[in-house]
């Protein structure tokens, strides 16, 4: 029985043809997803939806979370593509990685980004076993409390990136870096969670206008 191509197959054929004539960086993000998904699952609507979510959010999704948007085999291909991207970044950065040797190093690294923000920004620095920086994530923006700064969200990226340790930092818009009771509570919970998952909380640093407070330097970690 003769069968013509489906709309999704025609779509992916067109995208592949474009790739053969133009460089990948001239290709729409949704079209790149069409190549990864392939077959009947690569509908324009589905690919555009993925592009709308954005690379940053998609890159942090688990295989199961990606599977909510695309068929299982397509989710596996997308997941693998992001992993290849992470590994490429690691290879390219060898020999020029930032090494964080002290609380001062960590504070200086993010100070210009968050010191003068009007809201609290909670940043996580991801480190390998030699304290090389392998990633940075702003986990949330807003007032710090135990319900928002949940260890699950903070360690999620660290686990995915195979980090050996993390340094957490957040700013105090008031300019005073002295920790609140909530800051201490969050630090305690993060330390306990890190011990459970095997990823050390090296420090929790509060950035003020001109000074910073290190829980490590005050022997609270």
Domains of the chain are 7-93 (no CATH), 103-214 (3.40.140.10)
37-50 core/surface letters (b: 16 or more CB in 10 A; e: else): bbeebbbeebbeeb
pTM above 0.85, yes or no: no
Alpha-carbon separation of residue 68 from 45, 46, 183 (angstroms): 15, 11, 35
**Residues in CB range of 134: below 8 A, 6 or more apart:** 90, 97, 126, 127, 128, 161, 163
CA atoms within 13 A on the CB side of 57: 9
Q: CA 151 to CA 191: how far, in whole Å?
A: 9
Q: In this structure, what token pair is assigned to residue 114?
A: 């968050």
Q: In this structure, what token pair is assigned to residue 113?
A: 């980004």
List the chain pLDDT tens, one digit each, 221 residues: 444 455 555 666 676 666 665 555 667 888 888 888 887 777 888 888 998 998 888 887 888 899 999 999 899 989 998 888 877 766 655 555 688 989 999 998 888 888 888 889 999 999 999 999 988 888 888 876 654 567 888 898 899 889 999 999 999 999 999 999 999 999 999 999 999 999 999 999 999 988 999 999 999 88
């Amino acid at each position: 029985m003769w069968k013509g191509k489906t709309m999704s197959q025609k779509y992916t054929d067109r995208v592949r043809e474009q790739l053969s004539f133009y460089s990948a960086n001239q290709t729409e993000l949704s079209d790149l997803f069409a190549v990864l998904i392939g077959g009947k699952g690569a509908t324009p609507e589905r690919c555009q939806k993925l592009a709308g979510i954005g690379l940053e959010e998609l890159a942090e999704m688990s295989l199961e979370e990606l599977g909510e948007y695309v068929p299982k085999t397509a989710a596996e291909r997308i997941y693998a593509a992001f992993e290849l991207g992470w590994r490429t970044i690691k290879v390219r950065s060898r020999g020029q990685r930032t090494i964080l040797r002290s609380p001062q190093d960590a504070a200086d690294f993010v100070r210009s980004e968050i010191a003068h923000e009007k809201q609290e920004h909670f940043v996580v620095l991801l480190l390998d076993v030699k304290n090389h920086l392998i990633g940075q994530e702003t986990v949330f923006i807003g007032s710090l409390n135990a319900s928002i700064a949940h260890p699950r969200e903070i360690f999620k990226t660290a686990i995915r990136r195979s980090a050996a340790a993390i340094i957490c930092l957040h700013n105090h818009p008031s300019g005073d870096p002295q920790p609140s009771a909530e800051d201490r509570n969050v630090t305690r919970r993060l330390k306990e969670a890190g011990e459970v998952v095997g990823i050390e909380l090296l420090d929790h640093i509060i950035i003020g206008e001109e000074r910073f407070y290190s829980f490590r330097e005050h022997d609270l970690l």
